[in-house]
Amino acid sequence: MIWLIPFAVSVLIFPLRVSQRQLFESIMPVVIAIWTVFFSIFYLSRIKSDFLKEGIFIGIAWLLISMVLDLMIFIVGPLKMPLWDYATDIAVTYLMIPTITIGFGYLTEQRARINQMD
């Protein structure tokens, strides 16, 4: 879902990529951030310990999943985007995924430690 929802949004707003590229490029990171935050909260609220470790794990996993699925569409699939263009246009944006999940993992870990002291 971390990949599918932003991909669906990009398909829906694809005409903006041609007519208003800057708007398209501004919307997509916001969509990725919203859903990464949502799914991070959803995932981390269901585990009991090792929040930072889990935040690192899901961040890297979601990053890799998103990039592999993208590569099947943008590099070898129908869109045939050069790898360098993909890396500089799309892949860099995905770095926000582990940034968000690691941040949530860290904060959740700190909160759990504080709660244990009480």
The model's pLDDT over 75-99, given as tens digits with 9 standing for 90+, comes to: 888 878 898 988 888 899 999 999 9
The pTM assigned to this predicted structure is: 0.88
| Residue 10 burial by Cβ neighbours in a 10 Å radius (0-12, 13-18, 19+) | middle
Cβ atoms of residues 105 and 55 within 8 Å: yes
Reading the block at residue 76, the tokens are 């070898």
Reading the block at residue 57, the tokens are 């794990």
In one-letter notation, the amino acid at residue 13 is I
**pLDDT above 80: residue 118:** no
Question: Rounded to whole angstroms, how far apart are CA atoms 91 and 45?
Answer: 28
User: What's the pLDDT score for residue 75?
Assistant: 84
Residues 34-46: tens digit of each pLDDT: 999 999 999 999 9
